[in-house]
Structure 1
Amino acid sequence: MNEAPVTADNEFTPVNSVVELATYYDALSQPGVANLTLLGPGEKSHPLVIVEQLEEDYLLFDLTAIRDVAPSLRRGGKFILSGYTPGGLVRSNPLAVRDFSSVEGRLLAYVDWPKEIHVQQRRASFRASLRLGMHVGVLVRSTDNDKEELVELQGDLRDLSATGCLAEFFMQDGVSRVLPDIATEIALHFPNGTSFEVTARVRHIKNDNDRQVMAVGFEFENPSKAQEREVWNYVREIEREASRSASNGDSRNESELFRIRDEDDDRLGRRHKHQYATPMARRLARIAGYLDSQMVVMRQGEAVSSQQLSLHADRLLDMLDDDREEALFSVHCIHRESRWVRHGLAVALRMADMLGSQKVPRELRKAVAASAMVHDLGKGLLPQDIWRATTLSTEMYEEMHTHVDALLDKMGGVKWLAPVVRDNVIAQINERLDGSGYPLGLKADQLGQLARMAAVVDSMDALQRSRPDRPAKPAAVAAKLMQPLVDQFDESWLKKYVTHFGVLPIGSLLRFEKGVFAWVVGLDRQKRVAKVRVSPHKYAPDEKLGPVIAGAALAELGRIRDVLVPET
């Protein structure tokens, strides 16, 4: 969150908002915070206990431990209330006691509620942080960056202030589809069912790759006076509940906001435990989460992380080494992330798999996989209108070509990636043999073997994904559409692709003669369907998939009647 300029050491900022004053007085009431300083010769500070406040009426002090100041106060002596709070050093105007009371041996003093205090080195606002065990859900709504439809992202509130909040989101939730956006609708959901909605803008983003979360700071956009007061009440309640939870033997009642109304309310936090069709799909989702969050921070001006790219490229190769068929199927099982991420992972796995069959050294396969994983992330840096359009104007077409350079500008710190691999896979994957590609219009003799291979793998996968200007095609149809285009694509790599993956490759959705839907998960040596997993629906694979079926059990399903594109 952007902080307000810090005032000089000898400057104090006046505060006179009722709700903000009450928040500071609540902070001063915490043990060991407040001090009372008598004004006059030899002024001295004394620790003070604030027992209670009634807004715009009084503060109630407990003077039992500092009875020696009572005589001076009874004579009308003035004093200053001060203390260090999370919002800064607080100092009141000169105050006086209006009434004394004795209750069960305790000396109490009533003071008129101060209608103004001064804060030194004041932050933009008082910020209340949630402690462990306190749950407030954050729901962000925005227009999908890929499509003209409303999407939601669920997370956890970490702190709240009058001007904004900090929330954490799970990387595997497809954060790039929502963040960042110019204006985002954000809703806070408290345990007792209370909800608060406001328009907000993303101000800063930080990735925690170990925990697989993204911390996002939001600034509220032009909140109304009623919303400001509402937020301040939430800030005070969070601060009170956090201090209550942190205290030993605290007898204060639980904040009403944090009384759980519905144990099954799924709005109170992000959904960590996503269900995936296979364990391998869960592994791939972790890589997808990294790429998705990488695209978000790139929009904020950050570069591609060299270390994280290396780590996740190794993880991708490990998946292929552990179980090739499961790895190839896994690309069909993730769907929360941006289409650029899903496409990049599919291209990376298939290129690495093809190179693996040719005994290519692991380091080269890793460089190819890393380049393919990120090759389309630059598209996420361009205006989304380009990717939603069914036709492109000349200006939009030219701007679309800049996604390559936009990504390469972010790749300067990835020193371990061989430039020749980077250029072939990232810079030249959109070039064509006849010179009709982009960004440079290179021709046949200017394109290396990796660039030719990348162009085929990239286009085959792109045809199997829907776009605003055309629907997705099954793999077999995509291969037929590519065959005549030998003037643009290397014919030998087209043949190698189909030979390697088969006409009905792993990840094809089939409908059998008896009406059963099933996903191809294994091929025999002749690249014929050998293993499938039955699905109860025509959507992307999920945890409802049946067991692997092969041999006689597969034959019982009957002949293949249709090859389908999964419904969305």
Structure 2
Amino acid sequence: MTEIEFTPVNSVVELATYYEALSQPGVASIQLTTQGSDEHPVILLEQEEEDYLLFDLTAVRDLAPPLRRGVTFLLKGYTPGGLVRSNPIKMRELTTVEGRLFAYADWPTEINVQQRRASFRATLRMGMDVGVILRSSDNEQGEEVELQGDLKDLSATGCLAEFFAQDGVSKVLPNLETGIELYFPNGTRFEVKSVVKHIRTDNDRQVLAVGFEFDNISKVDERQLWDFVREIEREASRNAIEGDNNRQPSELFQVKNGDENKLGRRQGHAYATPMARRLARIAGYLDSQMVSLRQGQPVNSGQLSQHADRLLDMLDDSREETLFAVHCIHRESRWIRHGLAVAVRLVDLLSSTKVPRDVRKAVAACAMIHDIGKGLLPAEIWRATTLSTEVYEQMQTHVALIMDKLENCKWLSPVIQNNVIEQINERLNGSGYPSECRADKLGQLARAAAVVDAIDAMQRGRPDRKGLSTVSAWKFVEARPEEYDQVWVYKYQQHFGGIPIGTLVKFEHGQFAWVVGLDKQRRISHVRVAPHKSAPDDKLGDVVELSSLQDVGRIVDVIAPDY
């Protein structure tokens, strides 16, 4: 039989970490060094560094005689770092207390591990909250942004963390180098540079599990990390047995300063409306899909189909609430927010022409993803205030980038893909991209998509210009008949109204409000009073009839919100 190769561990901190792992219920066993001896399960109760280990041998009393005579034994067990065994050690004292047999052993000076020491990963149990704050440069704006998540496991060389998909993860991930801060319940902070090694998406839970490798760790930081790993094992072991009061709580997990909002991601984000929360789930999927695309993966056909259905269900449940919801999400990339808005409005516009559901579903899917190819391009393109001809041509490649990722989406009609993704940026006079198609090459769906796309895009600020109000954006496309099909421009205005849902209006006494309802003549009927000009949040007032707002005066302006 081939002898298993073990790697010796003799660092005090690392040894203590492995002993904490061996103290987990059902992990530790001892084997006498006499020939033919079997392994026997024991409970490792306590350790004192470089002094002793305390065992409970109540279940294996038959071992007491040879141990009292000085027979050595090996301590063994399967830990997160692999199979481990100690050097031969002796029991130095055995005692019985209230019917239980306890034994003290000399603290082993070495443990042999079947795997590399760096592979040891301490896993946090439920209820053990450690925050992970990820800092990186925003791909869109070039500003530092933060992403908050939950630590799941930790080793001396890296960690695994989970981030909520609705928090705009694509703004931060997967940058090759990023800064991480660990935040423990007692207020202890630890910052380290890291490299993203892998990303896994859990669409059901709406989280991304991200593996990080720590970069350029100093000896001091490495020891600190081993201390953290040991304390996580200590606390996990303490919590493993209900009612176990023999172990002192880890100091790291004692909340002291009350700053609990940094201990993990906050899935309970406040949204302006329940429908906005539903839309945020779809936005979370798209954001994680963008991250997957950056990793070289294709568009997930099943997930795209499922979320397109969800979008249609939202419109079926309440078109007005869904139309307003597109203004209420703001954590995600602008391309995702834009794609969702185009999808909602384009599908809603087509619903007035009795388009079948399967067609509307395909339109929704294509519209949702039509712009996320931009997230695969260099960030410098989206930060520039002016674009050279070379950079402008590079920007146009975002269309081909996303089209190349749709090979698995067999259910998507090629005609709809062509109209909504490939031709949404084309113009009647041939001034669009990527193929400079003219009017005779553009179908009705492509013409409608171009109008919806341009009106929403004009409302969103960019480094080279500020966003326009809903009314100004519509007037922008109305004034360019050479580029936009005026039949669809007119249909857009007739369908959504002159001041559509999602418009921010200002009253003569200075109060702001969001339009959330129109009457049959497409005139404002209901609003929600807003305390600010930023994206709608849970600070909004209740839905009220416009006619009941007597104290705010008449509407004097339609303005562009600050987002």
User: What TM-score comes out, normalization by structure 1 length?
Assistant: 0.92
Alignment match, 2:138: 144
What amino acid does structure 2 have at the position aligned with 1:190?
A: F
Which of 227, 233, 236 in structure 2 is aligned with 1:242? 236
Q: Distance in 1 between matches of 2:517 and 2:62?
A: 86
What code does the residue aligned with 2:309 have?
Answer: D
1:329-368 maps to which residues of 2 (within 5 A)? 329-368=324-363
Residues 532 and 554, structure 1, Cα contact 8 Å, conserved in 2? no
Counterpart residue type for residue 485 of structure 2: D
Query: Take 1:66 and 1:529, find their aligned partners in 2: how far apart are those partners?
Result: 80
Alpha-carbon spacing, 1:322–1:135, altered in 2? closer, same or farther (3 Å):
same
> Comparing 173-182 with 495-504, which one deviates more in the overlay?
495-504
Q: What secondary structure sits across from 1:253 in the alignment? A: coil
Alignment partners' CA distance in 1, 2:485 and 2:232: 63
Pairing 1:227-238 to 2, within 5 Å after superposition = 227-238=221-232
1:384 maps to 379
CA contact (8 A) 1:73 1:96 kept: no
On the 8 A contact 2:9/2:117 being kept in 1, the answer is no
Instruction: Trace 1:388-537 onto structure 2 (pairs within 5 A).
Output: 388-537=383-532
User: Which amino acid is the alignment partner of residue 158 of structure 2?
Assistant: G
Q: Does 1:547 align with 2:537?
A: no
Map Cα deviations across residues 502-527 of structure 1 (whole Å, 9 max, x no partner): 33221111111222211112223433
Change (3 A) 1:46 1:506: closer
- Structure 1 gaps of 5+ residues are 1-7
1:306 aligns to 2:311 (yes or no): no
Deviation of the 1:392 alpha carbon? 2.1
SS at match of 2:539: coil
- In the TM superposition, 1:275-286 aligns within 5 A as 275-286=270-281
**Aligned pair in 2 of structure 1 residues 10, 542: CA closer, same or farther (>3 Å)?**
same
The separation in 1 between residues aligned to 2:125 and 2:491, in whole angstroms, is 57
2:17 counterpart residue number: 23
**For the Cα contact (< 8 Å) 1:63–1:109, is it kept in 2?**
no
* Secondary structure at 2:248 match in 1: coil
Alpha-carbon distance in 2 for matches of 1:530, 1:44: 82
Q: Which residue of 2 aligns with 1:183?
A: 177
Q: Which amino acid aligns with 2:380?
A: D
- The residue aligned with 2:368 is 373
Give the equivalent residue in structure 2 for 1:326.
321
What is the deviation of 1:481?
2.2
Give the SS at the match of 1:82.
strand
Match of 2:269 in 1: 274
Give the structure 2 partner of residue 169 of structure 1.
163
Q: Structure 1 residues 276 and 69, CA, compared in 2 at 3 Å: closer, same or farther?
A: closer
Q: What is the CA distance between 1:468 and its match in structure 2?
A: 0.5
Residues 146-170 of structure 1: per-residue CA shift (max 9 Å, x gap): 2122222222222222222222222
Q: What is the aligned residue count?
A: 559
TM-fit CA distance, 1:35:
3.5
Quote how far apart the aligned CAs of 1:426 are.
Answer: 0.7
- Quick check: 1:64–1:108 contact (8 Å CA) kept in 2? no
Distance change >3 Å, CA 552–CA 70, structure 1 → 2 = closer
Do the aligned partners of 1:9 and 1:121 also contact (CA within 8 Å) in 2?
no
Deviates more, 1:287-296 or 1:345-354: 287-296
Give how far 1:255 is off: 1.4
1:216 positional shift: 1.9
Return the offset for 1:475.
1.9
CA deviation map 1:59-102 (0-9, x unaligned) = 45566766766776677655433222221111233x34384465
CA contact (8 A) 1:9 1:120 kept: no
| Corresponding residue number in structure 2 for 1:216 | 210
* Contact in 1 for aligned 2:77/2:83 (Cα 8 Å): yes
Q: Distance in 2 between the 1:69 and 1:526 partners?
A: 90
- Structure-1 residue corresponding to 2:31: 37
CA distance in 2, matches of 1:150, 1:272: 22
Is 1:296 the counterpart of 2:296? The answer is no
Structure 2 residue matching 1:266: 3-state secondary structure: helix
1:27-81: CA deviation from partner (whole Å, max 9, x where unpaired): 2234443344344544554445544433344445566766766776677655433
Whole-angstrom distance in 1 between the partners of 2:476 and 2:295 = 39
Residues in 2 aligned to 1:551 and 1:96: alpha-carbon distance in whole angstroms: 83
Structure 1 residues 73 and 423, CA gap change in structure 2 (3 angstroms): same
1 CA distance for matches of 2:516 and 2:61?
Answer: 81
Change (3 A) 1:46 1:448: same
Distance 2:440 2:70 in 1: 95
One-letter identity of the residue aligned with 2:493: V
Deviation, structure 1 residue 388 = 0.9
Task: Give distance in 2, aligned partners of 1:560 and 1:44.
Answer: 86
- Matched residues in 1 for 2:135 and 2:423: separation? 36
- The reply on whether 1:197 has 2:214 as its aligned counterpart is no
Query: In structure 1, the residue corresponding to 2:267 is in which secondary structure?
Result: coil
Name the residue aligned to 1:5: none
Change (3 A) 1:20 1:549: same
Q: CA deviation at 1:108?
A: 3.4
Select between 345-354 and 294-303 the one with higher mean Cα deviation.
294-303
Please tell me whether residue 90 in structure 1 is matched to residue 77 in structure 2: no
Q: In 2, Cα distance between the equivalents of 1:367 and 1:340? A: 19
1:4 counterpart residue number: none
Residues 97 and 111 in structure 1, CA contact (< 8 A), matched pair in contact too: yes
Distance in 1 between residues matched to 2:244 and 2:319, nearest whole Å: 57
Pairwise CA distance, 1:103 = 6.4
The alpha-carbon deviation at position 469 of structure 1 amounts to 0.6
Select which of 201, 206, 228 maps to 2:200: 206
Q: Note if contact 1:328-1:349 (Cα within 8 Å) is conserved in structure 2.
A: yes
Question: Aligned with 1:506: secondary structure?
Answer: coil
Secondary structure (helix, strand or coil) at the match of 1:544 reads coil
How far, CA to CA, are the matches of 2:218 and 2:117 in structure 1? 21
CA contact (8 A) 2:300 2:408 kept: yes
Query: RMSD across aligned C-alpha pairs, in angstroms?
Result: 2.5
Is the deviation greater in 350-359 or in 41-50?
Answer: 41-50
CA offsets per residue over residues 209-264 of structure 1, 9 Å max, x none?
22222222222222222221111111111112112111144221221111122456
Change in CA separation of 1:352 and 1:113 when aligned onto 2, cut-off 3 Å? same
Distance 1:51 1:57 in 2: 14
Paired with 1:325 and 1:109, the residues of 2 have a C-alpha distance of 72
Partner amino acid for 1:531? Answer: H
Q: Distance in 2 between matches of 1:527 and 1:90?
A: 73
Farther-moved stretch of structure 1 (235-244 vs 12-21): 12-21
User: Matches of 2:61 and 2:499 in 1, distance apart?
Assistant: 88
Give the Cα separation in 1 of the matches to 2:234 and 2:210.
Answer: 24
Which shifted more, 45-54 or 328-337?
45-54
Deviation at 1:365, TM superposition (A): 1.0
Structure 2 letter corresponding to 1:162: A
| Unpaired runs of at least 5, structure 2 | none
Residue 541 of structure 2 aligns to a residue whose secondary structure is: coil
SS at match of 2:354: coil
Cα distance 1:96–1:330, how it changes in 2: closer, same or farther (>3 A)? closer
Query: Which residue number in structure 1 is paired with residue 7 of structure 2?
Result: 13
In 1, distance between residues paired with 2:389 and 2:41? Answer: 72
